[in-house]
Each structure stands twice: as structure tokens, then as C-alpha cells.
Amino acid sequence: MQIIQANISHLDAFLAYAKQCADDGLHLYSSTIEDHQAYFKKRLAYAEGKQLPAHWPAITTYFCIKSAHILGSIRVRHGINEKIENIIPIIVSN
């Protein structure tokens, strides 16, 4: 098992992952299946700071991969700003 930054070679595995997530009730992925290639390429562009929604920092996607299958996904924001603080609840532990 490996944690790997998403790249274009993961496109087919991403479609299978998105379908499984949608089947499991994760509605976020339901809309990505129809045009998974465009969605995935946009996520790759986000890591380069391109095509981002206004006031968003770069976001890198990583996959947990085993035997060429995506088991999980995480997106890491490269920074935070006032807009994000007002939209996304942040948990801070001391």
C-alpha cells in the first residue's frame, strides 16, 4: 500500500473509485462519473494553483493505492485564508 500524489496515470483507477464511492452513498462522487476526466484534470490543475475557485490556495490530491486500486483519497490545502476560515470549520487542538 502506498500514498501517492494523484497524476494522470490514475485516471482509470479514479473512475472505478468514484463509482464505488457513489455506490456506497458518497454523493460528492456521483456527479464526477459522467465527466470524470474533466473533474480529475481539474483536481490535478488545483495542485499547480490553476483553475482554482476565487480565494482558494492550491489543493493537492493524494491516493492510497494498493495493487493499482485506489482505496482512499485526501486533499491537502496549501495554506488557509479568511475566506476558507469562514466556510470550512477548523478543529484546533492545544
Per-residue pLDDT of 30-61, as tens digits, reads: 778 888 999 999 999 999 999 998 888 899 99
Mean pLDDT, residues 56-79 taken together: 94
Mean pLDDT, residues 56-68 taken together: 94
The yes-or-no verdict on residue 92 having pLDDT over 60 is no
Which range among 17-31, 56-70, 76-90 shows the weakest confidence by mean pLDDT?
76-90
Reported pTM: 0.81
The yes-or-no verdict on residue 62 having pLDDT over 90 is yes
Closest CA to 78 of 4, 2, 3, 52: 52
Residue 42 to residue 5: CA distance in whole angstroms:
14
